[in-house]
Amino acid sequence: MTDFAAIILAAGKGTRMKSDLHKVLHPIAGKPMLMHLLDEFEQLGPRRTVIVVGDKREQVDAALTGRNVATALQDPQHGTAHAALQARAALEGFSGHILVAFGDVPMVRADTVRRLTDTLASGAKVAVLGFRPDDALAYGRIIADDDGTVRKMVEYKDASDEERACKLCNSGLIVAHSDDMWPLLDAVGNDNAQGEYYLPDVATGAIARGDTVKVVECEAGEVAGINSRAELAAAEAQWQDFKRQEAMEGGATLRAPETVFFSWDTKIGRDVLVEPNVVFGPGVEIADGAHIKAFSHIEGATIGRDAEVGPFARLRPGAVMEEGSFIGNFVEMKKATLGPGAKASHLSYIGDATVGANANIGAGTITCNYDGYFKYQTTIGERAFIGSNSALIAPVTIGDDAIVAAGSAVSRDVGAGDLRMVRGEQLVKQGWADRFHDAMKKKKAATAKNKG
C-alpha cells in the first residue's frame, strides 16, 4: 500500500458553538470529536498526521499531548485550500497519498478513506468524497458520469438549475498523491466573492489540466459536519444508534435501546440484559450474562459474568464486580472489588475496599475510607456478614466468616469467625414515655386555653 498521510483542518473559530472550548474538542460519547477521527485514521497506519489549527490552538495542542501528531498554524485564515497548504512544512519529504479532512466531520470511516486511496491506485489523480442527502440544501454539487468520473464541481450559488437538480453533493474530503496535491493547491486562486482559497478547486484544477478525478460515495451521516450544539446532539444520537445496534448484533439485549447511552469504549458481552435508562461512562467492561437494571450509572467499572447491578446503582471508577456478585438499589461502589457471589443489596457505600466471596453487606453499611487527608482500605473476608447500618472505619479488616452486628461502628480488626458488636448500652426507663406524653398534652391544652 502507498504511504498515507492525513491533514485535518481545525482552524475555524467555531462561533456557532458559543463555547470557550475549541469546537473539535467537544465530545461525542465522551471522546472529543477530533480524537474520534484520529483513532479511526490510525487504522490506516498514517506515516504522518498534521492538524491545522488557528483559534484556541493551545487547547488542541494540550489535547494532542502523547500523540504522534504535528500541528500547523493558519494565521490569517484565507480558506480551506490555504489551510491545507499550511501543513506542507510538516509533511516535507513525505511521498504518498494525502487526505485532507475536517476536524468537525468526525464520523468518517477508515474503510471509506481506503476506497478513496484505492481509486487513486486505479489511475485517478484526485478522488473526492460525495454523498446524497435527503435534502441537498446549498451543498456544492458534483457532476459525474455513471462510472464516477467527475466532469465538474460547482458551488450551489454558481450552479445552474440543471446542476442544482443533481443530488450528488461534495463533502469536502479529498485525496491526491503528494506529487499532485501540492502543485494543485498552489494553483488554487481566490477569484471569488469571499476572496478565499477553496479546497474543491483542487479537483477543479485537476480536471482543467486533463487529469482524471473520481468521486467515491458514502452515506450522508458519515460526513455530517458539526457547527452548532444542535448538530453536536444529532451526531451524538447518530453515534448512540450505531453503538446500540452493534451491541444488540453482538448478543446483548437492550430492553429500551433508545434510553441506553454508551461511551466510546464500552465493551459489552453476550446475553447481557440492559434495562431502560442506563448510562455508561468511559472505561466499562461487561462480561457475558450480566444484568444491568434500570436507572444505573456505570463508569470505569468491570462487571463480571452473571453479575447483577441495580436498579438505581452507581459504579464509579475502579469498581470491580466478580462473577455472580450483586449490588442493588442505591448502592455506590468506588475503587472496590466485590468477590464472586458477594452482595450489597441496598443503600450502601463501598469505597476503597475488597469484599470476599459470598460476603453479605447489609443495608445502610458504609466503608469510612477518608479522614479528610488520606484514603484507607477496608478488607472484608469470605462469607462475612455485615449487619445493617454498620460503619467500617478504615483501615480495618473483617475476617472470613465474621459477623458485624447491626448498628456497629467498627474501628479495629475483627478476627475470622468472630462477632463484633459495637453499640452503646440500651437504657430503659419504664413509664417515662407515658409520663412525658401526659405532661406535654397538659401543657399544650393550657397554652390553647390561654390563647382563647
Per-residue pLDDT reduced to its tens digit, 261-278: 999 999 999 999 999 999
Say which CATH superfamily domain 229-420 falls into: Hexapeptide repeat proteins (2.160.10.10)
Q: Where are the domains of the chain?
A: 4-223, 229-420
Per DSSP (E only), the strands in 84-162 are 97-102, 126-131, 141-144, 150-154
Cis peptide before 317 (omega within 30 of 0): no
User: Is 437 marked active-site?
Assistant: no
190 pLDDT tier (thresholds 50, 70, 90): confident
3-state secondary structure of 322: coil
pLDDT above 90 for 182: yes
- 15-45 pLDDT, tens digit per residue, is 899 999 999 999 999 999 999 999 999 999 9
Strands annotated E in 20-140: 27-28, 31-32, 48-53, 70-73, 97-102, 126-131
Q: Report the percentage of the chain scoring pLDDT > 70.
A: 100
Host H or E run for residue 240: helix 229-249
* Cα–Cα distance for residue pair 131/116, rounded to 1 Å: 13
pLDDT tens for each residue of 350-392: 999 999 999 999 999 999 999 999 999 999 999 999 999 999 9
Q: Catalytic: which of 26, 177, 297, 346?
A: 346
**Phi then psi dihedrals of residue 447, to 5 deg:** -65, -45
Distance of CA 170 to the CA centre of its chain: 28
How confident is the model over 58-81, as pLDDT tens digits?
999 999 999 999 999 998 889 999
pLDDT at 25: 97
Distance of CA 361 to the CA centre of its chain: 33
Q: Is the pTM of this model over 0.85?
A: yes
In DSSP terms, which residues pair with 118 in a beta bridge?
Answer: none
| Homologous superfamily of domain range 4-223 | Spore Coat Polysaccharide Biosynthesis Protein SpsA; Chain A (3.90.550.10)
Q: Do domains 4-223 and 229-420 have the same CATH topology?
A: no
- The model's confidence at residue 13, banded by pLDDT at 50, 70 and 90, is confident
Total residue count of the chain as it appears in this document: 452
DSSP-based three-state secondary structure for 26 = coil
Q: How far apart are CA 5 and CA 308, in angstroms?
A: 46
Neighbours of 83 (CB within 10 A): 27
pLDDT in tens, 301-311: 999 999 999 99
**Per-residue pLDDT at 48:** 96
State the pLDDT confidence band at 1, using cuts at 50, 70 and 90.
Answer: low
* Beta carbons of 128 and 142 less than 8 angstroms apart: yes
State the Cα–Cα distance between residues 293 and 420, nearest whole angstrom: 34
Determine if the peptide bond prior to 257 is cis (ω within 30°): no
Residue 343 identity (one-letter amino acid): K
